[in-house]
Amino acid sequence: MSGTTARNHPPSRTASARARLRSKSQLTLPDEIRRALRVNEGDVVEFMFQEDGTITLRGYISVPTDHAWLYAVHQSAPGTSDRGFVGSQATAHESGDAMFSHLDALGAADA
C-alpha cells in the first residue's frame, strides 16, 4: 500500500498492506497498519489464527491482575456495549451531575 494515508488519520477499515518476512521470522509493520493498531516500538501485538486460515492482528494491552475481573466480565458477555455489563448493576448516566446525584441517593439509602 502506498503512503497516501494522512499521518493524523487512521486508514479506512478496508486498508491492506504487505510486509516481507525477514531473517529470524521478523516483520516490520507498515505505517498504516501500525497507526491503525495504535502500537509503537516495544508494544505487544497479538496474532489470532482462525480455522478458515484468517489471521487477526491486534494491539495488546496487559491488564493488572487486580483489574482483570472487570475486563473478563465485559469481554465474555456477548452483546454487551460500552454502556453496561450483563449481569451487573451498572448504571449509565447522561452527565456527571446525574451520576453524583445517583451516588448521593445510594449513600443516603445506606445510612
Report pLDDT digits (tens) over 14-28: 678 899 999 999 999
Close Cβ partners of 57 (under 8 Å, ≥ 6 residues apart): 33, 37, 45, 46, 47, 48
Residue 105 DSSP SS3: helix
Please count the residues of the chain. 111
Close Cβ partners of 97 (under 8 Å, ≥ 6 residues apart): none
pLDDT of 90 strictly over 60: yes
* pLDDT band with cut points at 50, 70 and 90 for residue 6: very low
Contact 17, 33 (CB under 8 A): yes
Where do the structural domains in the chain lie, given as residue ranges? 1-81
* pLDDT band with cut points at 50, 70 and 90 for residue 1: very low
Report pLDDT digits (tens) over 32-49: 888 888 888 888 899 999
Question: In the predicted model, what is the mean pLDDT of residues 75-102?
Answer: 68
pTM (two decimals): 0.43
Q: Rounded to an integer, what is the distance from CA 39 to the centroid of its chain?
A: 12
* pLDDT band with cut points at 50, 70 and 90 for residue 81: low
pLDDT of 53 strictly over 70: yes
pLDDT of 9 strictly over 60: no
Look at the domain 1-81 and name its fold.
Pemi-like Protein 1; Chain: D (2.10.260)
